[in-house]
Amino acid sequence: MKAGSIIGAAVSSMALAWTVAQQAQVKPDAVNERTETKVSESHKNGKYKRMTETFTDKVLVARKEEVSVKDNGQVDYVFVKLFRDGEMTYASTLYKSENRTIRSYYHRGKMIVEEGDEDGDGFFETMFLFDAKEQPVQAFSTRKDGTVTQFSKEKLAELKKSFPRFQE
């Protein structure tokens, strides 16, 4: 056998061994995890809705709904929800015409924090904390310089009144 053939065979064997070694380093869970995305559209009562759902191992992990209230090709609202183990952990609503976004965080099926970007600049100016009955108990204003201030008692009382479905 010529030296060139031996070197070529050795290089090929090392390349194959390296490839096999790299595959062995992949986490078994990552290989078994399967992600699937389903998209559906509907036109009902003069509204259009496009829903995109993402499943990992057949369990819903994300849902995005784009809604046109006049079915005119213009999206008016975008709703995003994230799930873990069947429970919603995050929700976001983009009001396109108002250029405003509200996002909420959940724990054990209950909303605990809500943030608001009131002017559409991507910075969330308000934050609300909720109790176990999903009643707002604290509210804060934030500024881009990092300053955080509490709502006044009066402004907090006004906020609480704006959540009538939670009033006892």
Q: What is the CATH number of the domain that holds 131?
A: 3.90.930
Residues 49 and 124 in one domain: yes
pLDDT digits (tens, 9 = 90+) for 52-102: 999 999 999 999 999 999 989 899 999 999 999 999 999 999 999 999 999
Residues 84 and 52 in one domain: yes
**Averaged over 144-157, what is the pLDDT?**
95
H helices present in the chain, as ranges: 3-24, 28-32, 153-161
At 10 the pLDDT is 40
Residue partners of 159: CB distance under 8 A and separation at least 6: 128, 136, 139, 151
Mean pLDDT of the chain: 84
Phi, psi of 80 (to 5 degrees): -125, 135
- Confidence category of residue 7, pLDDT binned at 50, 70, 90: very low
Is pLDDT above 60 for 27?
A: no
**Averaged over 35-43, what is the pLDDT?**
96
Residues 13 and 76 in one domain: no
Domain count, the chain: 2
At 91 the pLDDT is 97
Residues 18 and 64 in one domain: no
pLDDT digits (tens, 9 = 90+) for 67-80: 999 989 899 999 99
At 2 the pLDDT is 52
Residue partners of 145: CB distance under 8 A and separation at least 6: none
Residues 104 and 78 in one domain: yes
Least confident of 1-10, 29-38, 114-123: 1-10
Residues 23 and 72 in one domain: no
Q: Quick one: what percent of the chain has pLDDT higher than 70?
A: 78
Query: Dihedral of CA 89/94/99/102: which sign?
Result: negative
Residue partners of 130: CB distance under 8 A and separation at least 6: 110, 111, 112, 113, 114, 136, 137
Q: Are 136 and 159 in contact (CB under 8 A)?
A: yes
Structure tokens at 101: 């976004």
Residue range(s) defining the domain that contains residue 10: 1-27
d(CA 29, CA 89): 22
Cα torsion 97, 102, 103, 106 to 10°: value is -130
Tell me the sheet residues that pair with 130: 136
- Confidence category of residue 163, pLDDT binned at 50, 70, 90: confident
E strand map for the chain: 35-44, 47-56, 59-68, 77-84, 87-95, 100-107, 110-117, 126-130, 136-142, 148-150
